[in-house]
Amino acid sequence: MKEVQSSPSCNIFKRHGFTIQNTTWPCFQVGNPQRPNSLPMEVSDKYSIVEGQRYSKRLNERQIAVLLKVTFQHSHDWELDIIQVSLFYVSVTLQTVDHNAYNEDPYAKEFGTKISEKLALVEVRVLPAPWLNYHDTGREKDCLPRVGQWNMMNKKMVNGGRVTNWKCINFARNVEEGLA
């Protein structure tokens, strides 16, 4: 029988009674490059990850190209992309409503519910851009975006918050038992 060596982090989990549930998920690389530690993703909401961790390896050419393409896209192009994606989802939603024939559903009829195949028109107003607040140690602490753009030069990010609870809701009409 082959002896398996457990890492110090595994021993810590055992000592605190934490069992890793999702063994196929990727891990966070923490620590220094000479002696890296791998922590399962699911510990991020149980244990604090050390502040200041960063990805220190050089990005490959494709990653750099994608990053530059996304970060240098003009706000007008972003707007067109958002409109295009929105129109796609509206089209899919209308097709789904038509295909599912909600008005023929016996439960909908029983409760007198009617589902329109037309989109609802809603009056809206455009809110002013919010002020962005950055870390106090940066040269600039506040910034007001103009036309959906702002410059990150001389700014430091505030320590982010933690997401401790989240849910996933499935609005599918027919869901197999045990999959919901």
Residue 171 confidence (pLDDT): 73
Say whether both 17 and 48 belong to one domain.
yes
Query: Domain for residue 175, yes or no?
Result: no
Say whether both 70 and 110 belong to one domain.
yes
pTM for the model: 0.33
Query: Domain for residue 167, yes or no?
Result: no
Residue 119 confidence (pLDDT): 78
Q: Say if residue 136's pLDDT is above 70.
A: yes
- Please report, rounded to a whole number, the percentage of residues in the chain having pLDDT higher than 70: 79
Q: Say if residue 50's pLDDT is above 70.
A: no
Residue 44 confidence (pLDDT): 61
Contacts of 140 (CB under 8 A, 6+ apart): 134, 154, 155
- The two tokens of residue 139 are 């040269």
Range of lowest pLDDT (21-25, 61-65, 76-80): 21-25
Mean pLDDT of the chain: 77
User: How many structural domains is the chain composed of?
Assistant: 3
Residue 114 belongs to what domain range?
62-122
Residue 7 confidence (pLDDT): 56
Across 2-103, where does the E strand assignment appear? 27-30, 37-40
Say whether both 86 and 117 belong to one domain.
yes
